[in-house]
Structure 1
Amino acid sequence: MTRRHLEAVVLAAVVVTAGTGVYVVDRAPTPTATFVGGTASGEQPTRPSVPTRIRALHQRGITGANATVGIVVVTRINADHPELRPRIVERRSFRRDPAGQPRGRHGTAAALTVAAIAPDAELLVATVDTPTDARRAIEWLTARGTDVLLVPATVLGAPGDGTGTVASAVERAADRGTVVVAPTGNLARNHWQGRLTPTRRGLHSFGGDVRMRLLPPVGAGTQAGGRVQARLRWNGSAYPRDLTLELYRSGASGVTRIATSERTRTGSVRVERLDARVRPGDLFVAVRLPNRTVRRFEPLPVRIEVTTRRHRLLNATPAGSVASPATAPSALSVGAAAPDDAGLAPYSSRGPTPDGRRGVDVVAPPTVWAGPRDGTSAAAAYAAGAAALIISEADTSSPERVITLLCDTAVDVPPAGADAESGYGRLNATGAVERIEAPKGRTEDSQPRTKPHTRC
């Protein structure tokens, strides 16, 4: 297989399984990534319905006034939307080709969710294409004095320990006093991780089987097919050799290899990308090791991860599927609550992170959303609006204080206690506001806390 070092990256708005998300994907110098999902910009989404408890806060005059929310968007935003026109105070594009901004509803939907929760907050919007664009956008929004920064994007293939271009920019923004909110991702059913286990066939064993079967996206028929996009990631320091991700078809004539991956990242974190268009059928992926390096046929001390963008994995492992920039230590990492608020949405990514952190701070309802499908981006936008409400009422806008309020007042969901699936529980904007209101006159340091921590 011919290997190329792929240096360019592009952001893509896509619909995955049961959620809408924005992803950073690798591409070759000749672009192979496409923008999938969303609708034409001529269609104007309506303002999402506001939950009763949030409306009650608005009726008390708690509307996010005097708070500013910065939003990093990928798809073209409809700044002339009647709900957004009076709220957007500044816009800037960091794309090389601003006119080439892809059409879609994701950016507009994120802004509408924030405006629905915090209707008097001012919005600043930055449009981006690459992680470098996103870094510059975060720096610009931070320099503009933004109180809350929403980054509704997931970086596929980035290090999971909170480093990387976008996650590092998030850390710097938090250091300068900005509350940064990011979705955990919609990858719980599209992710597998485990120890690299060689077999005598030269393939990795996924818990006893060298095949990882692909399932179609939810609602997309009974067979996998169409565009298949997958990533293989591993620690290059622990295993400094090549691994290859391969796509196979199983049929009446036997098993046929139909696509192989290309390298997109080298160094301490290595990434292989597979991108192919195939007809529907019985498809599976496999991880190939170079035979000359295999000496022991037992699990090696190195973890590998396989992640797909659209297709579900038959034996997915939700644990560890949280993605950058939500993996940044200072970000408020937000997952999606189940529709009945009793647990976690099945697609919502989980922790822990590779460096042992929980990875999820809270979950929020993803239903306050004007896009075609909800997801963790919708949940994060809800949380960003809630943070704006807190800042408009509190005497401080420090990230630690705001995030601590949101975590301390969250409603626990099973299993009991803070965990890597739902963090501290379901976000409770009303409880957070009431915490800072009662009793009046109490200083920040003397306000009671229900958990002994300075932030999530």
Structure 2
Amino acid sequence: MSFYGKPDDGESHVADVARAATERGIVFVAPTGNLASAHWNGTYQPVNGGVHSFNGGTRNYLRATDQSRLRLWLSWDSSRRGEDYTAELYWTNGTAHRLVARSQPYLADSVPNERIVAGLRSGTYYVRITGPANATGATLDLESPTHTFQFHSSGSITAPATAPAVLSVGAYDPQTGGVRSYSSRATGGDATTVDIVAPDGQSAATKPEGFTGTSAAAAYTAGTVALMLDANRSLTPAGVERGVTSTANDVRATGPDRPPAPGESSPRGL
């Protein structure tokens, strides 16, 4: 399971739980999330008295088809919890604009974040982020597990896969030999990486048409881990990770790969 609206530095409560489990000898397998094109990260850059400017303006567009339900999270540095940032969702037809929803603080954890949950009709929408009138240096994360953004960036791994000792799993497409387009990517920093990619789309009892997503890939990997532990119960979490990554099929150059951009080939696949 992925938890949204959490820091990507492994400092959230759920990441702490995963870290504690591995310290007790438990192999913790976690999906990286499905945010490849549904995540934006950047420094707060206000214009017009407190409206954030993305790469191409103050609007980050998204599309809705048929009747859909949007879930969207906005989070920022824990050290700046005293600052206030808000995500606003607008509908537009190119001429008219209408405010649909404004994010509200999520009080179920200690992380500075807000979220929007809204039913959408088919059409074009955009997100604005408002905050202080002056640049604060805050790092903002905008993510949606249901819709993709016009402006998006790497570094989209979700908690608890952000915990350093967790075996983090992305989704791999054996048909194309590459990472699934929705599978979250890493930035290349030391804090958060994708350890392995595994196939999804397998038929399941409740999903005869195929269980897709990084959660399915993580389940596939967890089954492999269970077989390893059954064969050798003395394996530590670090030993399991070494065994999995060293025996996976390397579909690119030998050895660890740089984080792939959306659409590029997978580093290693089970």
After TM superposition, the score normalised by the length of structure 1 is 0.53
User: Structure 1: 5+ residue runs without aligned partners?
Assistant: 1-152, 428-456
Cα distance in 1 for residues equivalent to 2:266 and 2:162: 13
**Which residue pairs with 2:61 in the alignment?**
213
User: Where do 1:6-405 residues align within 5 Å?
Assistant: 153-216=1-64, 220=65, 226-238=68-80, 240-251=82-93, 254-265=96-107, 269-291=111-133, 294=134, 301-317=137-153, 319-340=154-175, 342-352=177-187, 356-370=190-204, 371=207, 372=209, 373-394=211-232, 396-405=234-243
Q: Deviations over 1:370-420 (max 9, x none)?
A: 125411111111111111222223362211111111111222344763333
Cα distance in 2 for residues equivalent to 1:358 and 1:160: 7
SS in structure 2 opposite 1:275? strand
Question: Is the contact between residue 9 and residue 162 of structure 2 (CA under 8 Å) also seen in structure 1?
Answer: yes
Cα distance in 2 for residues equivalent to 1:248 and 1:207: 18
- CA drift of 1:314 comes to 1.8
Question: Is the contact between residue 237 and residue 268 of structure 1 (CA under 8 Å) also seen in structure 2?
Answer: no
Q: Residue type matched to 2:124 in 1?
A: D
Find out whether 1:425 has 2:268 as its counterpart: yes
Cα distance in 2 for residues equivalent to 1:304 and 1:214: 18
Cα distance in 1 for residues equivalent to 2:233 and 2:110: 43
Q: Residue type matched to 1:409 in 2?
A: T
Cα RMSD between the aligned structures? 2.6
- CA drift of 1:254 comes to 2.1
Cα distance in 2 for residues equivalent to 1:232 and 1:184: 18
Q: Residue type matched to 2:42 in 1?
A: G
**Which residue pairs with 1:435 in the alignment?**
none
Q: Residue type matched to 1:286 in 2?
A: R
SS in structure 1 opposite 2:72? strand
Compared CA separation, residues 288 and 329, structure 1 to 2 (3 A) = same
User: Where do 1:403-414 residues align within 5 Å?
Assistant: 403-414=241-252
SS in structure 1 opposite 2:269? coil
Cα distance in 2 for residues equivalent to 1:423 and 1:361: 11
Question: Is the contact between residue 239 and residue 302 of structure 1 (CA under 8 Å) also seen in structure 2?
Answer: no
Compared CA separation, residues 352 and 423, structure 1 to 2 (3 A) = farther
SS in structure 1 opposite 2:161? coil
Question: Is the contact between residue 214 and residue 283 of structure 1 (CA under 8 Å) also seen in structure 2?
Answer: yes
Question: Is the contact between residue 105 and residue 114 of structure 2 (CA under 8 Å) also seen in structure 1?
Answer: yes
Cα distance in 2 for residues equivalent to 1:336 and 1:199: 38
Q: Deviations over 1:335-388 (max 9, x none)?
A: 0012325221100011238x7424210000113341254111111111111112
- CA drift of 1:228 comes to 2.1
SS in structure 2 opposite 1:237? helix
Compared CA separation, residues 362 and 270, structure 1 to 2 (3 A) = same
Q: Deviations over 1:255-309 (max 9, x none)?
A: 2222111111599841011122233322111101233xx2x5xxx5322111112
SS in structure 2 opposite 1:403? helix
Structure number with greater CO (CA < 8 Å, separation at least 6) is: 2
Cα distance in 2 for residues equivalent to 1:414 and 1:314: 29
Compared CA separation, residues 410 and 197, structure 1 to 2 (3 A) = same
Cα distance in 2 for residues equivalent to 1:340 and 1:242: 45
Aligned residues: 261
Compared CA separation, residues 363 and 251, structure 1 to 2 (3 A) = same
Compared CA separation, residues 252 and 192, structure 1 to 2 (3 A) = closer
User: Structure 2: 5+ residue runs without aligned partners?
Assistant: none
Question: Is the contact between residue 192 and residue 315 of structure 1 (CA under 8 Å) also seen in structure 2?
Answer: yes
Cα distance in 1 for residues equivalent to 2:225 and 2:174: 22
Compared CA separation, residues 329 and 289, structure 1 to 2 (3 A) = same
Q: Residue type matched to 1:285 in 2?
A: V
After TM superposition, the score normalised by the length of structure 2 is 0.86
Compared CA separation, residues 290 and 266, structure 1 to 2 (3 A) = farther
Question: Is the contact between residue 408 and residue 424 of structure 1 (CA under 8 Å) also seen in structure 2?
Answer: no
Q: Deviations over 1:176-234 (max 9, x none)?
A: 21111111111112111111111125311111311010123xxx45xxx6322211011
Cα distance in 1 for residues equivalent to 2:87 and 2:201: 36
Cα distance in 2 for residues equivalent to 1:385 and 1:278: 37
Q: Residue type matched to 2:195 in 1?
A: D
SS in structure 1 opposite 2:106? strand
Between Structure 1 and Structure 2, the one with more strand by share is 2
Cα distance in 2 for residues equivalent to 1:200 and 1:415: 48
Cα distance in 2 for residues equivalent to 1:338 and 1:332: 19
